Amino acid sequence: MPDFSFEDQHNCLVAGVDEAGRGPWAGPVVAAAVILDRDNFPQGLDDSKKLSAKKREALFDPIMETAIVGIGQASVEEIDDINILQATMLAMRRAVDNLDPQPGHILIDGNRLPEMKISAETIIKGDGRSFSIAAASIIAKNFRDRIMAELAKSWPDYGWERNAGYGTALHREGLNLVGISPHHRKSFAPIRKIRNQESVIS
């Protein structure tokens, strides 16, 4: 279970950072940066992947209400332009830039360290080891899921409200039925393949 042991190593405000949406075929990549109030934060924080959708949803508002939160995104166009890894790093920087006040140190989930103006470190599987990163993982996941559910209202054939843009059978079926949308990542191999097939047909 996560705790504050990584945060306790620094005598300053510490933010946890995590992302959501590196793997999907559609939609932006989203990052969140969270500075928790240690005297007032919701119980049950853990890696968002270990929590049910209902539990993540129940934690979202309490985190937003009690913590300092910054959210950053990189668009589909940016993903296609600079690749998904660099777009993820960009979203993380934007999330940290949106924190006020700024932290003195940043804990980042994973093993890739974006260029930061602030002292930072990576923690492998940090969303299951640090409360701050766990909170960031919940915010990023829920925020992105809401974006995809909203996009699904205008693009209902792909099932984004259920699959968040991942390459599920329903998503594939929608692509076969209506083709690609403006929200698909055209640099991703499955989408690129469909585009190439469409160009040959036309």
Domain containing 89 equals: 7-155
Distance between CA 160 and CA 147 in Å, rounded?
A: 9
Separation of CA 79 from chain center: 13
For position 199, what pLDDT does the model report?
A: 62
Tell me if 177 is assigned to some domain: no
Summarize pLDDT for 48-99 with one digit per residue, the tens. Answer: 999 999 999 999 999 999 999 999 999 999 999 999 999 999 999 999 999 9
Question: Quick check: is 93 in a domain?
Answer: yes
- Residue type at 149 in one-letter notation: A
CATH code (residue 29): 3.30.420.10
Residue 74 lies in a domain: yes
Question: Could you tell me if residue 186 is inside a domain?
Answer: no
What is the rounded average pLDDT of the residues 13-18?
A: 98
Q: How many domains does the chain have?
A: 1
Question: pLDDT digit string (tens) for 91-142?
Answer: 999 999 999 999 999 999 999 999 999 999 999 999 999 999 999 999 999 9
Give a yes or no: residue 134 inside a domain. Answer: yes
ω into residue 24 within 30 of 0, thus cis?
no
pTM for this prediction: 0.96
**Distance of CA 186 to CAs 81, 83, 154, 181, Å?**
10, 11, 19, 9
Any domain includes 70: yes
Quick check: is 162 in a domain? no
pLDDT reading at 202 higher than 70:
no
Residue 129 lies inside a defined structural domain of this protein: yes
